[in-house]
Amino acid sequence: MEVFLQQLINGITLGSIYGLIAIGYTMVFGIIGMVNFAHGDVFMVSAFIALVAFLLLTSFLGISSIALALFLVLIVAMLFTSLVNWTIERLAYRPLRGSFRLAPLISAIGMSIFLSNFVQVTQGPRNKSIPPMVQGEFVLFTKNDYPVTLSFKQLIIWFVTAVLLACFWYLVSKTRLGRAQRACEQDQKMAALVGVDVDRTISMTFVIAAALAAVAGTMYLMYYGVVSFADGFVPGVKAFTAAVLGGIGSLPGAVVGGILIGLIETMWSAYFSIDYKDVAAFSVLAITLIFLPQGLFGRPDVEKV
């Protein structure tokens, strides 16, 4: 029982990171119907930006307050990652928006390869690590000499995920930008006819998705303390699986799907072979597409005529 509870805590934490990445997938797909396969590598780039920012703030500027350093790292990562994703949308996706449907997908895959190789060349192929950002934990209880713990960094990840989900639900549901996003999701041509700036709305969606990926990248770096140029592909695909599982196009569904994927991965690692944890997570994608293609919270596709 104590192992189950500890893995439950770990799974919710890992799933929260997946959920933040998955929101970016679901927002972009909801508006332009495109799976941005470069989003996982944008997440990886944001983790490297956070790493460089943390080292500069603590080593060169001498900031000793971890809370202040973490806050500044988060802001810097969000700003620079948003700029990167905005540039990607303008250069790689917008010119192909009116082309055949596979063109943006191919461009996204090419951008993913470019980002991965660019970071490998500039930062090197080895893992990059940092000193622990946040230390300390609560011991909830101990049974059979096995302590069930909840660390401060896990609490931070849970809190940040819950706050961001509430903020972006409000943004999509109640603000002018959210109304423009929902209008573009339904019909871009009609949205343009009633005065919605479609290009600006899509660009802002990419910026928001990148900001969420930056938060996920910073939380990932804080939690594990290490990042590699190869850390974009597998988390990105798992986040996409989470978006499909929750119902692509649904913000709460993306987070719920992320938590479910995180729980599947950690529970499988605890009770079965850790070598097959990725197989278990990706099997969920195939099962979902076969039996529940719209996901847990998604709406069935309606053919426009």
Q: What are the pLDDT digits (tens) for 202-222?
A: 999 999 999 999 999 999 999
Q: How far apart are CA 219 and CA 164, in angstroms?
A: 13
**Which element (helix H / strand E) includes 98?**
none
Q: So what's the pLDDT on residue 299? A: 64
Place of tokens 């603590």: 58
Residue type, 288: T
List the single range of 28-32, 149-153, 228-232 with lowest mean pLDDT: 28-32
Q: So what's the pLDDT on residue 301? A: 56
Give me 265's structure tokens: 């991965």
DSSP code for 129: E
pLDDT at 48 over 90: yes
**Average of per-residue pLDDT values in the chain:** 86
The answer to whether the CB of 184 falls within 8 A of the CB of 31 is yes
Residue 76 C-alpha from the chain's centroid: 17
Q: How far apart are CA 167 and CA 163, in angstroms?
A: 6
The strand ranges marked E within the chain are: 128-129, 137-143, 146-151, 226-227
Q: So what's the pLDDT on residue 305? A: 45
Q: Give the tens place of pLDDT for each residue, 163-175.
A: 988 888 888 888 8
Residue type, 265: E
The strand ranges marked E within 144-225 are: 146-151
pLDDT at 302 over 60: no
Q: How far apart are CA 15 and CA 165, in angstroms?
A: 13
Determine if the pTM surpasses 0.75: yes
The answer to whether the CB of 46 falls within 8 A of the CB of 183 is no
Give me 148's structure tokens: 């069930």
Give me 83's structure tokens: 């700029």
Q: Give the tens place of pLDDT for each residue, 264-297.
A: 888 888 888 777 888 887 887 788 778 888 878 7
Q: Does residue 90 or residue 296 have the better pLDDT?
A: 90
The answer to whether the CB of 298 falls within 8 A of the CB of 249 is yes
Q: How far apart are CA 116 and CA 125, in angstroms?
A: 10
Q: Is 230 exposed, middle or buried (0-12, 13-18, 19+ CB in 10 A)?
A: middle
Q: How far apart are CA 144 and CA 190, in angstroms?
A: 64
* Average pLDDT of the residues in 240-265: 87
Q: Give the tens place of pLDDT for each residue, 177-193.
A: 888 988 888 888 888 88
pLDDT at 82 over 90: yes
Residues of the chain with pLDDT > 70: what percent? Answer: 97
Q: How far apart are CA 258 and CA 252, in angstroms?
A: 10
**Which element (helix H / strand E) includes 201?**
helix 198-224
